Chain A
Amino acid sequence: MTQPNCAIIDYGIGNVFSVRRALEQIGVEAELTADPDRILAADRVILPGVGAFGRAMEKLRQDGLDRVVHDYVASGKPFLGICIGLQVLMEASEEFGSHTGLGLIPGRVRKIPVEDDAASNFRVPFIGWSPVAESQSGAWQGTPLQDVPDPNAFYFVHSYEAVVSEPDHLIATHTLGGRAITSAVRRDNVMGVQFHPERSADHGLRFLEAFVNL
């Protein structure tokens, strides 16, 4: 089987270099591109991103990439959003005002609630490694999380979380300050992860490999 043609959307936000290097490490030559034709022609598309939701959406719209993402997703081919790339899949975010997202997955993005709980000592932004758990039995079936080892750990850095409207779209959670937080969402061929697989050592590389080989 020939290797799937993998594109990373390069829209001037976040560390695309790390994602490309992580893919190279598992033998995948991914293309960094903002060219709609190249994105639509790819077999796998990754939308990375760090920073603020509003700025990420602004950059996507500015280049018309919001429509390109919709068109690509309509083709049924696998799509992966990472961190802000997950959050922009939702309908809206409350980060620094109110912003409209891509609306590919019903739900919204909100600040992670922090309770004054000295025992949990939970701080925002959450920066660190956490295991992720299947939200309900069978939720990882047919997704790149299917073969994640147990125990697992992925690297997170975030202050906001996606909250899905349809429970079936939530497939993985991590626990912060005693609360279950969204770590991964999925709707048909669209998947988003809050963690950074490109920074999650072996488990992250294996996750990316599973996505490319879906």
Chain B
Amino acid sequence: MRNFRLIARLDVKMKTLIKGVQMEGWRKVGDPREFAARYAAEGADELMFTDVVASLYQRNSLHQIVRDVASEVFVPMTIGGGVRSVGDAGELLACGADKVALNTGATQDPALITEISQTFGAQACVVAIETVRYEGEWMVMTDNGRNHTGRKALDWAREATDRGAGEIILTAIDKEGLGRGMDLDLVSRVCDSVRVPVVAAGGIGTKDHLGALLEKTPASAVAVAQALHWNKLSLDDLRDTVSAHGHFVRPLGAVASSGGQ
């Protein structure tokens, strides 16, 4: 039995929840706070917010959203986008984030991983890796798939955890937003390269896609965005699938109290 987590991923641009296809062609979905509260109530184990234009503008603008959500929603939250310093991470944690996700900032200055990990603990330090397959290698990209870093994904995952990252969030850009399944080979390889939890993201469109992830990889969690935002899959569908594969799903408070004596 695995304590597998279902993470609702909310990508935010100018305070609006958006969803892109392969990190391009963004469409507006709605108010991230409303979606966050609904997903948590429906059984999401965790929420992940990313300010998708933070790197462009050199700052994260999610502070108020994080504060608002943390005031009403009592499940863990990971926040990413534009984290460039220990101070940036500290501000987001002070707003109610439980973890910060580093991406561009870490690829430019890998020592930042160690600094954040030593200051706030490895459990608060997540490294997000976005990768595309290029000539048979998974290569690390940043800025929503626009910039090549020249790093190989497996090497970078290992380096990031050696430097103190407590978790890896892995997105296969060529699968992202399409709902046609995940890159299971990539997920397995990264899981084999590191000892920390790996969150698989990008490509879930059906219950079978989640089933395949559970059967074929040792991933610790999945991050789902588009399939939830456009009602292709519900958290019930995802929870049923996790449960059907013999893994633990958290009982929901409302269900437990109405079923109690």
Encode A118-133 as 1/0 by CB contact (under 8 A) with B.
Answer: 1001011111111100
Interface residues of B in 123-156 (CB under 8 A from A): 123-124
A15 beta carbon closer than 8 Å to chain B = yes
Residue contact B260 to A153, C-beta cutoff 8 Å: no
The residues of A that contact B118 with a CB separation of less than 8 Å are: 52
Given A15-B98, A51-B120, CB of A157 within 8 Å of CB of B76:
yes
Residue contact B252 to A202, C-beta cutoff 8 Å: yes
A41 beta carbon closer than 8 Å to chain B = no
Residue contact B75 to A199, C-beta cutoff 8 Å: yes
A198 beta carbon closer than 8 Å to chain B = yes
Interface residues of A in 82-140 (CB under 8 A from B): 114, 118, 121, 123-131
Number of B residues near A (Cβ < 8 Å) is 41
Residue contact A130 to B124, C-beta cutoff 8 Å: no
Q: Residue among B2, B76, B96 with the most chain A CB within 10 A?
A: B76
A118 and chain B: residue at smallest CB distance = B218
A208 and chain B: residue at smallest CB distance = B74
A67 beta carbon closer than 8 Å to chain B = no
Interface residues of B in 157-194 (CB under 8 A from A): 166-167
Assembly CA distance A202 to B218 (angstroms): 29
B256 beta carbon closer than 8 Å to chain A = yes
Assembly CA distance A177 to B35 (angstroms): 33
Partner of B45, one of A22, A51, A52, A129: A129
Closest chain-B Cβ to A158's Cβ sits at a distance in Å of: 7
A152 beta carbon closer than 8 Å to chain B = yes
B58 beta carbon closer than 8 Å to chain A = no
Given A126-B3, A149-B260, A158-B123, CB of A17 within 8 Å of CB of B70:
yes
30 A-B residue pairs with Cβ-Cβ distance under 8 Å, sorted by A, are A15-B94, A21-B74, A50-B98, A50-B121, A50-B123, A51-B119, A52-B118, A52-B121, A123-B197, A125-B196, A125-B197, A127-B166, A127-B221, A128-B4, A128-B197, A130-B248, A149-B251, A149-B260, A151-B251, A153-B248, A153-B250, A153-B251, A157-B98, A198-B74, A201-B250, A201-B252, A202-B252, A202-B254, A203-B256, A204-B74
Chain B: residues with CB nearer than 8 A to chain A? Answer: 2-5, 40, 45, 70-72, 74-76, 93-96, 98, 118-124, 166-167, 195-197, 218, 220-221, 248, 250-254, 256-257, 260
